[in-house]
Amino acid sequence: MDLVLAMDLKGGLVVHGKRGERNTYRPLTWGLSPTAEPVSYLSVMRPHALYIADLDRITGRGSHDQEIISCARMVSTCYVDRGCRSPEDYLSGENIMNVVGTETAGEDLTRYPSGILSLDIRNGHVIPGAGVPAQVITEAEPLPFRGYLILNLGAVGTSEGLPAAELSPLRSATAKYLLYGGGISGVRDLDLLASAGFDGAVVATAVHTGKIPIDAVRRGVWC
């Protein structure tokens, strides 16, 4: 199973927060890196693969395009959620895989020609509506997305663990590439995702607290 390091950008810096409450996110200065400047932070962390959420662009307050392009050159694959509201919002660059988040994508997902569909989840439902995650995947299967990210926004930064009973229905809904992020507490949860057949895990907090080895993130694989 692939391991992907998550990096949230806000106000030009790498930030950390909990439960998707973005107004409370602060620079990540307590973790493994002594700096929250994106390129310098990434030089310390040295992940094999990276997921970037541009929080400023997602909320319509700016962008980090140049920082993202620079960071993407430092990894094998860089999944980028920059708040796509149409295909014109895709970012081009070396190693970049665009992520289309349901939070901002709008109702008509047929407009999007490629990338990863992120199911942005709060309280068990896909936002901004109230869709059931497995059903949303089933409905999206005919579309040309290369895979899906199950992003439990309500659990981001909490290390509270996974909803184990919900993993198998998600995996059964698609044969495409399937990632999970949000609330992963440590190696036990990684083993749980691998056993459920997920293709990748997006992690951050548990890496900085030492519950997931940084060497595994640098290799980019678990199991």
Question: Any residues with CB less than 8 A from the CB of 204 and at least 6 apart, and which?
Answer: 5, 6, 7, 8, 16, 157
Residue 16: half-sphere exposure toward Cβ, Cα within 13 Å: 21
pLDDT of the residue at 188? 96
**CATH number where 130 lies:** 3.20.20.70
Could you list the residue range(s) of the whole structural domain that residue 72 is in?
2-219
pLDDT of the residue at 153? 87
3-state secondary structure of 142: coil
Whether a cis peptide bond, with omega within 30° of 0, leads into 128 is yes
Q: For residues 9 and 38, is the Cβ–Cβ distance under 8 A?
A: yes
124 dihedral zone (left: phi>0; alpha: psi -120 to 50; beta) = left
pLDDT of the residue at 17? 74
3-state secondary structure of 81: strand
Element at 8 (helix H, strand E): strand 2-10
Q: For residues 182 and 156, is the Cβ–Cβ distance under 8 A?
A: yes
Please state the domain count of the chain: 1
pTM, 2 dp = 0.95
**pLDDT tens for each residue of the chain, 223 residues long:** 999 999 999 999 999 976 666 777 889 999 999 999 999 999 999 999 999 999 999 999 999 999 999 999 999 999 999 999 999 999 999 999 999 999 999 999 999 999 999 999 998 999 998 899 999 999 999 999 999 999 998 878 777 789 888 999 999 999 999 999 999 999 999 999 999 999 999 999 999 999 999 999 999 999 8
